Amino acid sequence: MLKRLPFLCATLLALAACSHDNSGQAAQPAAATSASASATATPAPAASSAAPAGSGTSAAASSAPASTASTAAAPARSAPAAAAVTPFVDTGKWVAGKNYFVIDPAQPTSHPGKIEVTEVFSYGCPACNAFHSTVDQIARSLPAGAVMNYLPAAFRPDENWPVYQRAFYAAKALGLVEKTQDAMFDATWKTGELSTYNLKGNGLKPKEAWPTIDDMAKFYAKYGANPKEFVGIATSFSVNTQMKRADDLIKAYGVEGTPTMVVDGKYRFDPGSAGGYAQTIELTQWLVAKVAAGK
């Protein structure tokens, strides 16, 4: 069973992660806080770094299907130019069980011959909104042998996350993820067009005011989607299957909060365990080099 932690969704300036536990009420994130400004702040220890020190084994991992990764994660925007490959050197700075955690068993990846770097996230997660410009930097920092993925979480139905996950996979099917990743965060946390939170007040909107898949379709229509087609895809068997596989893979990774980074299905960490947003870039590069070196 995954360890359930206290609910830690708080204001963006103090935010570390959004956890699985939905027993508490989230504090209202500051609507005026931009993701780019927040991304430079160092967060408090994140809820998602919850595996006990020295233990990389999740009970959920052994129960997930081996084929989970085949359709669950979608490629992010292409980096403008591949970064130089960093040789792997173990200086002792990054410690397993403290800064990053071993995923046991390691999970299959969906890009043979490439090292996958995956962000487990939700558009509805305020911590992910604060972190997503750092994820853009991580994507730009990857060498040619690595690829960036996004894996949307739905473990907060009390905050409408499943509809954001469903919209992601519909957008993926239409080839719109690369065009709209940042715009979806802006629509959720800046303009409020797709927000479940009351950005001008406190807490969540009434459920009847939460964005629906039809609202998502209207948003994606700005980027070329046919709204009727979008809704049809979003409610299809294929998308339902991808959502289930994503949920299974997130459990297999041992993820307990968002945002969480996963490198090649073998290692996971979050901004808190890494020591801050800037450190997540360095740790990602180090783990990619570690995998490339066969470690």
Provide the token pair at 210.
């939460």
What mean pLDDT is predicted for residues 97-114?
Answer: 94
User: Any bridge partners for residue 197, and if so which?
Assistant: 204
What's the average model confidence in pLDDT over 125-129?
97
Length of the chain: 295
Nearest partner of 116 among 147, 76, 77, judged by Cα: 147
CA dihedral over 271, 125, 75, 236, signed as positive or negative: positive
pLDDT value of residue 85 = 63
The chain-wide mean pLDDT, for the chain, equals 80
The whole-number average pLDDT for the span 213-240 is 98
Contacts of 112 (CB under 8 A, 6+ apart): none
Per-residue confidence (pLDDT) for residue 82, from 0 to 100: 59
- Checking if the pLDDT of 3 tops 50, the result is no
Is residue 68 predicted with pLDDT exceeding 90? no
Pairing of strands 257-258, 18-19: antiparallel
> What three-state secondary structure class fits 284?
helix
Residue 155: pLDDT band (50, 70, 90) is very high
Confidence grade of residue 83 (pLDDT, cut at 50, 70, 90): low
* Whether pLDDT at 291 is above 50: yes
Residue 17: pLDDT band (50, 70, 90) is: confident
Residues with Cβ within 8 Å of 6's Cβ and at least 6 positions away in sequence, in order, are: 19, 21, 23, 24, 47
> Domain 47-86+95-292 - what CATH class?
alpha beta
For the segment 154-173, the average pLDDT, to the nearest whole number, is 98
* 85 or 219, greater pLDDT: 219
pLDDT more than 90, % of the chain? 65
CB-based contact 293:88 (threshold 8 Å):
yes
The number of beta carbons lying within 10 Å of the beta carbon of residue 62 is: 10
Q: Does the pLDDT value for residue 181 go beyond 70?
A: yes
Q: What count of Cα atoms within 13 Å lies in the side-chain half-sphere of residue 201?
A: 8
Q: In which element (H, E) is residue 277 found?
A: helix 277-292
Is residue 159 predicted with pLDDT exceeding 50?
yes
CA distances from 134 to 38, 146, 284 (A): 9, 17, 11
* pLDDT score of 236: 98
Q: Would you state the pLDDT for residue 19?
A: 80
Does the pLDDT of residue 9 top 50, yes or no?
no
Q: Please check whether residue 138 is in contact with residue 106, taking contact to mean a CB–CB distance below 8 angstroms.
A: no
Residue 87: which pLDDT band, with cuts at 50, 70 and 90?
confident
Output the six-digit token pair for 221.
């229509």
pLDDT at 24 over 60: no
Going by pLDDT thresholds of 50, 70 and 90, the confidence category of residue 295 is confident
- What's the pLDDT band for 84 if we cut at 50, 70, 90? low
- Please give the pLDDT value at position 20: 74
46 pLDDT higher than 60: no
